[in-house]
Amino acid sequence: MEKQYNCEKCGGTGRIKEKNGMIHTCFHCLESGGFDQHDKKLKNAQDLGIKL
């Protein structure tokens, strides 16, 4: 079973959306080890509609 991590800044998503619309990685999660960059649930670029 995976470790559940609930960050007060991003709500456990690992992403923060700023007021101006910019989205970035939650650095608090990244520093504390609660964010796994190799998540198996991530979609590839084609599934997200991103043309490379």
Assess if residue 49 is contained within a domain: no
Cα distances (Å, whole numbers) of residue 41 to 5, 18, 21, 22, 33: 16, 24, 24, 23, 18
pLDDT at 36: 62
The domain of 26 spans 1-37
Largest separation between any pair of C-alpha atoms in the chain: 37
**Percent of the chain surpassing pLDDT 90:** 10
Q: pLDDT at position 1, please?
A: 36
What's the distance, Cα to Cα, between the start and end of the chain in Å?
34
**Total domains present in the chain:** 1
Instruction: Tell me, yes or no, whether 42 lies in a domain.
Output: no
pTM of the model: 0.50
Whether residue 52 lies inside any domain: the answer is: no
pLDDT higher at 41 or 31: 31
Is the CB of residue 32 less than 8 Å from the CB of residue 25? no
Q: Is the pLDDT of residue 25 over 80?
A: yes
Q: Is residue 51 part of a domain?
A: no
Is the CB of residue 26 less than 8 Å from the CB of residue 35? yes
